[in-house]
Amino acid sequence: MRKVFATLFAVFLFFSICPQRDAFALSNVPINWGFNKGKNGQQADAGAAYNALLQKYGGIYKGNPNDKYVYLTFDNGYENGYTPKILDVLKKEKVPAIFFVTGHYLKSQPDLVKRMVKEGHIIGNHSWSHPDMTQISDAQVREELEKVKAETARLTGQKEMKYLRPARGILSERTLKLGNEEGYTHVLWSLAYLDWDVNRQRGTQFAYDSIMSQIHPGAIILLHTVSKDNANALERVIKDLKKQGYKFKSMDEFMKTEKLKK
């Protein structure tokens, strides 16, 4: 009898602590987001499998290939002194953006977060402690998301939080479903470059070229505000894209536009 109880307890413990078993009907194989970069004005492409998975759960990484719309998104895990300059540029050029923030950013930079909302930008969820969410339980995932939402609402009055960017760009079918259950749309990206490493900044021209060489209609652009290069290149990027006929739209406008076309 003791052996039976020991076996049952072991099974219970396994299902209690193993994050992969919280939603065992779904795959929890980690996906490190990636794609074939856009070039010559042609859209980036993540491939049939990733496209189908995102479509199944309403996730997005690019818009309509026939519209010269682009969407600026920023990831904010910590402050490096350049976000005020970026906000100044966005205000001057009348460009909307979405900032995906962590708990650390909310706690350490409340005034900047308030300014983002005050100036018409959206705050998105980048998780509280920036974990690989494929490696934590369902309850922990929900807690990570709820804490960011609650603190953002307390600071800024933005009570609704609709957009989620998984920390580290890692997701799985399980975490996609969990995000959906919490009311989120996963927002990935179709244009990025290695800008987050503050020890590998390569100059304003490099940042400008990296963005402009990949630009395409419907691009969701990922930038990190810790990058001095981004802060210095952003105004020129915006002005030159406007000259090329691109229009900068908000994530809310993306959702409305894309839904109308389905």
pLDDT tens-digit readout, 107-146: 999 999 999 999 999 999 999 999 999 999 999 999 999 9
Could you tell me the pLDDT band of residue 20, with boundaries at 50, 70 and 90?
very low
**Does 56 have pLDDT greater than 80?**
yes
Rg (CA), the chain: 20
> Which residues are designated catalytic?
75, 224
Q: What percent of the chain has pLDDT over 90?
A: 87
Cα 228 to Cα 86: distance, rounded to the nearest angstrom: 10
Q: Which two three-digit tokens encode residue 64?
A: 């309509």
Q: How far apart are CA 94 and CA 150, in angstroms?
A: 28
pLDDT at 261: 59
Q: Report the chain's mean pLDDT, rounded to a whole number.
A: 91
Q: Is residue 260 very low, low, confident or very high in pLDDT (cuts 50, 70, 90)?
A: low
Strand partners, 31: 171
- Across the range 154-170, mean pLDDT stands at 96
Q: Grade residue 18 by pLDDT with cuts at 50, 70 and 90.
A: very low
Scanning the structure block, which residue is given the tokens 């290069």?
229
C-alpha–C-alpha distance, residues 181 and 196, integer Å: 30
Q: Is the pLDDT of residue 24 over 60?
A: no
**What tokens does 21 get?**
């078993």
* 215, amino acid identity: I
- How far apart, in Å, do the first and last CA atoms of the chain sit? 60
Residues 196/227, Cβ–Cβ less than 8 Å: yes
Dihedral over alpha carbons 223, 227, 231, 236 (to 10 degrees): -60
The structure tokens listed for 59 are: 């996730």
Give the SS3 label for residue 186: strand
CA distance 122 to 181: 21
Mean pLDDT, range 224-247, rounded to an integer: 98
Rounded CA gap, 116 and 123, in Å? 8
Q: What gap in Å lies between CA 241 and CA 18, rounded to an integer?
A: 47
Mean pLDDT within 179-190:
98
Q: pLDDT band for position 259 (50/70/90)?
A: low
- Asked whether 176 and 186 are in contact (CB, 8 A), the reply is yes
pTM for the whole structure: 0.89
Report the SS3 class of residue 157.
coil
Q: Which residues contact 104 (CB under 8 A, 6 or more apart)?
A: 77, 78, 129, 130
Distance CA 110, CA 21 (A): 37
Instruction: Provide the CA 239 distance to its chain's centre, in angstroms.
Output: 24
